[in-house]
Structure 1
Amino acid sequence: MADIKAPVFPESVADGTIVEWHVTEGQQVNRDDLLAEIETDKVVLEVVAPDNGVVTKIVKQVDDTVLSDEIIGQFEAGASASADNAPAVDPDQPAAPVQAKQAADGGEPVQATDKKDEADHKDQSPAVRKAAKESGVDPKEVEGSGRGGRVTKTDMANPTLKADSSIKSDSGRPVAESMGERTEKRVPMTRLRKTVANRLLSASQDTAMLTTFNEVNMKPLMDMRAKYKDQFEKRHGVRLGFMSLFVKAATEALKRFPAVNASLDGDDIVYHGYYDIGVAVSSDRGLVVPVLRDTDRMSMADVESRIRELGGLAQKGKLGLADMTGGTFTISNGGVFGSLMSTPILNPPQTAILGMHAINDRPMAVNGKVEILPMMYLALSYDHRMIDGKEAVQFLVTIKELVEDPAMLLLDL
């Protein structure tokens, strides 16, 4: 008999929550089959079967909190599923009857598994089952817009409940209620969403956060992109975007202003001799910040390729802890959602974050004349305990100058 254990969490992760078991007690599995998923403050970790065998016992249930390397179940290697290791029947939990037959001794009826419920469950896509688990809404109570009335992921995101639906959470409180065309839905916050909320609240309360603004003329960068984007994509196999130049410009500015690349650890200032830039990404599970390592050693093609890779992993919920730990500076691009101006919130223990925004044509005074130019507002939020206002402004102006004249990066000016 062997133990099924939670993964070893890194020091930055205290515990996790079991969000789903993909097996039941007595089920036979193969090596590396997915057994359970554990959600931490940052990512969802997978627990896989160590060998071929049978899951003999589930120790930790869904929603239970588990610690690093804690036992969550038991496993018998080399065993086969049989009546001896089938899950025991709890007499206090009646099974759903399909047909009942009287025992020969006149005892209680023997009840079988409800095949229809099982078929309904299998008919649901993995995305629908996941959405149902997160929201607490039973797909069978939702009006489906798919083929043959099938419930889709979109239906679960904004459910229209059937007229006779009244769904309750485990606490007995309504999770979703039908009120004609008006519905309400109550869902528990995910661990990741709670963590993001707490960290953002802590950053606003525990730091002396200020924000300085500037604006940048994007025409030189847009002209360069229009001229070379086809050649760039043909040679490197990835599209040329604006983020790569901002990452390279931020890296150069961090070299010139080490305090912006530093972090606070109690009463100590930690100056980092490397440049790991986090890029904020919005995913279905919430805001995540995967990190680009050693950006001073990366080409623009490397940056674009890595951002694309990390963004894809974020959308699939497949980012690992190593992808998001660390980071000395963060860039957030609210412009992709149309934001004209914002004050980004620090990502502790970092001491600064750069906010990019939407590009809009605006009338600008150039050499005594009015020109229509594509302009972007930039915002730098910083911890005033660590960074003086003069440094913050000079740092942001450096990024502005490098973006407005990309040749300066190539010439190391």
Structure 2
Amino acid sequence: MIEIKVPTVGESISEVTLTQWLKADGAWVERDELLCEMESEKATFELNAEQAGILHIVAKEGDTINIGDVACTIDETATRPEGAAAAPAPKAEEKPAAKAEAAAPKAEALPKDVKATPVAQAIMADKKVKPAEVNGSGVAGKILKHDVLEALNSPGIKGGAAQVTRTDRPEKMSNLRKTISRRLVEAKNTTAMLTTFNEVDMTRIMEVRKLYKDTFKEAHGVNLGFMSFFTKACCIALQEYQAVNAYIDGDNIIYHEYCDVSIAVSAPKGLVVPVIRNAESKSMAELEMAVVDLAKKARDNKLSMEEMTGGTFTITNGGVFGSLMSTPIINIPQSAILGMHKIQDRPMVVNGKIEIRPMMYLALSYDHRIIDGRESVGFLVRVKELLESPELMLIGKDPVKGLLNL
């Protein structure tokens, strides 16, 4: 009997939460097959079968277990059962053996825009529940286990708004959500946080994107988005206003000679802030590729500990959710965070005339213990200047002034 134990996932992490079994108790598993998903306070990871055999589950879904504890065992001496590929809870992408396929219940194939957890898919297949009969309550409408059970308990009635209910559903707070809660409260309680606002005219950036988006995509294989412009502008401003890129360590102020920019990304289990290392040295295409890569890993819960630690400054975009203005909370131990918001057409006075311009509010929350008002305002004004005249980002100043060494 082989014991599958919880591995070490970080120096400061002593426990994890078992979020989901991907195989059922008593199922035959192959070597290296995924068994379950676990979540630490910083990332999600998976356990694999070390040998083929019969799985015996020890820890249950939702349990908090310590590093080194046994999550399950595998009886590697067991005889492979006939039709073993048709395990009770196969992964969605697995193809059952031909013999088992004939006997197994067939569920309606999930459309590409419908997502479901492996456990939910297994129950739907077994009980012959159609996706249209289930109201997914997960992120982006993902169908969870309890959604399928709710549909089975209320046949003919689709869950959600169409079903009148006063049921309260308790759900254990995940380690990641606990960490987010703790760090947000800590940021509010340990920093002298203020927020300064400005607005940026997005006309030039939108013109540049419209003019070069196809050429950029063809040349670099990635779309030209807004985040590369904002990251590039912030890196230039951070090098000019170094206190914004620093943090307090005891009685010292640590100034960074580099810009490791954290990008706030909404993941299925909460907000995460993966880091683009040395963003100041990257091209626009490299920044766009880094953002796409980190965002995909966040959505798939594949971010490593290395990718989520050590940023010096954070950018968050509430505009993708429709936020017009907000006061973002500092990502400690950093000293500042820039909040982007929704682009909205507004009447603006330009050269004495009223014109409709695409405007975005910017918010810079900062720790007043290390960043003075002059620096915070100067930083935000500099970012605004660079965004409204993106050609300035090439050398950090007006080309004519650069020519004249002014």
Bin of the TM-score, shorter chain as denominator length: 0.7 to 0.9
CA 1:120 to 1:233, structure 2 compared with 1: closer, same or farther past 3 Å? same
User: Map of 1:240-279 to 2, 5 A cutoff?
Assistant: 240-279=224-263
Q: Secondary structure at the match of 1:397?
A: helix
Partner of 2:16: 16
Q: Secondary structure at the match of 1:303?
A: helix
Report the AA paired with residue 267 of structure 2: S
User: Map of 1:369-380 to 2, 5 A cutoff?
Assistant: 369-380=353-364
Flag structure 2 segments of 5+ consecutive residues without an equivalent: 82-102, 398-406
Structure 1: distance between partners of 2:223 and 2:319: 18
Q: CA deviation at 1:366?
A: 2.6
Q: CA deviation at 1:394?
A: 1.0
Report the AA paired with residue 362 of structure 1: R
Partner of 2:61: 62
Q: 1:251-300: per-residue Cα shift (whole Å, max 9, x none)?
A: 11111122211223344433233221111111332212121111112111
> Larger Rg: 1 or 2?
1
Q: CA deviation at 1:246?
A: 0.4
Partner of 2:294: 310
Question: Does the aligned pair in 2 maintain the 1:216–1:400 contact within 8 Å?
Answer: yes
CA 1:366 to 1:143, structure 2 compared with 1: closer, same or farther past 3 Å? farther
Q: CA deviation at 1:395?
A: 1.0
Q: Secondary structure at the match of 2:324?
A: coil
User: Map of 1:115-194 to 2, 5 A cutoff?
Assistant: 128-129=116-117, 146=131, 149=133, 154=141, 156=143, 181-188=164-171, 189-194=173-178
Partner of 1:408: 392
Q: CA deviation at 1:363?
A: 2.1
Partner of 1:93: none
Q: Secondary structure at the match of 1:318?
A: coil
Aligned match for 2:314, one of 330, 336, 356: 330
Structure 1: distance between partners of 2:216 and 2:151: 52
Structure 2: distance between partners of 1:131 and 1:240: 38
Report the AA paired with residue 332 of structure 2: P
Q: Which moved more, 1:343-352 or 1:255-264?
A: 255-264
Aligned match for 1:80, one of 67, 71, 78: 78
Q: 1:186-228: per-residue Cα shift (whole Å, max 9, x none)?
A: 2413332232223222222222110000111111111111111
Q: Secondary structure at the match of 1:331?
A: strand
Question: Does the aligned pair in 1 maintain the 2:7–2:68 contact within 8 Å?
Answer: yes
Q: Secondary structure at the match of 2:60?
A: coil
Is 1:45 the counterpart of 2:45? The answer is yes
Q: Which moved more, 1:343-352 or 1:67-76?
A: 67-76
Give the count of matched residue pairs. 362
Q: Secondary structure at the match of 2:16?
A: strand
Q: 1:309-351: per-residue Cα shift (whole Å, max 9, x none)?
A: 2222222222222221221111011111221111011111111
Q: Secondary structure at the match of 1:349?
A: coil
Q: CA deviation at 1:71?
A: 3.9
CA 1:8 to 1:53, structure 2 compared with 1: closer, same or farther past 3 Å? same
Q: CA deviation at 1:25?
A: 6.0
Question: Does the aligned pair in 2 maintain the 1:217–1:375 contact within 8 Å?
Answer: yes
User: TM-score, normalization: structure 1?
Assistant: 0.76
Q: Which moved more, 1:11-20 or 1:380-389?
A: 11-20
Partner of 2:281: 297
Q: 1:148-205: per-residue Cα shift (whole Å, max 9, x none)?
A: x46767485796956966xxxxxxxxxx999963454424133322322232222222
Aligned match for 1:391, one of 375, 396, 400: 375
Q: Which moved more, 1:32-41 or 1:364-373?
A: 364-373
Report the AA paired with residue 196 of structure 2: T
Q: CA deviation at 1:39?
A: 0.8
User: TM-score, normalization: structure 2?
Assistant: 0.77
Report the AA paired with residue 131 of structure 2: G
Aligned match for 2:345, one of 361, 366, 370: 361
What RMSD, in angstroms, separates the aligned Cα atoms of the two structures? 3.6
CA 1:119 to 1:288, structure 2 compared with 1: closer, same or farther past 3 Å? farther
- Percent identity of equivalent pairs: 45
Q: Secondary structure at the match of 2:182?
A: helix
Question: Does the aligned pair in 1 maintain the 2:117–2:142 contact within 8 Å?
Answer: no
Partner of 1:87: none
Q: Secondary structure at the match of 1:200?
A: helix
CA 1:155 to 1:343, structure 2 compared with 1: closer, same or farther past 3 Å? closer
Report the AA paired with residue 64 of structure 2: T
CA 1:13 to 1:164, structure 2 compared with 1: closer, same or farther past 3 Å? closer
Q: Which moved more, 1:66-75 or 1:253-262?
A: 66-75
Partner of 2:210: 226
Flag structure 1 segments of 5+ consecutive residues without an equivalent: 84-117, 166-175
Report the AA paired with residue 203 of structure 1: A
Partner of 1:7: 7
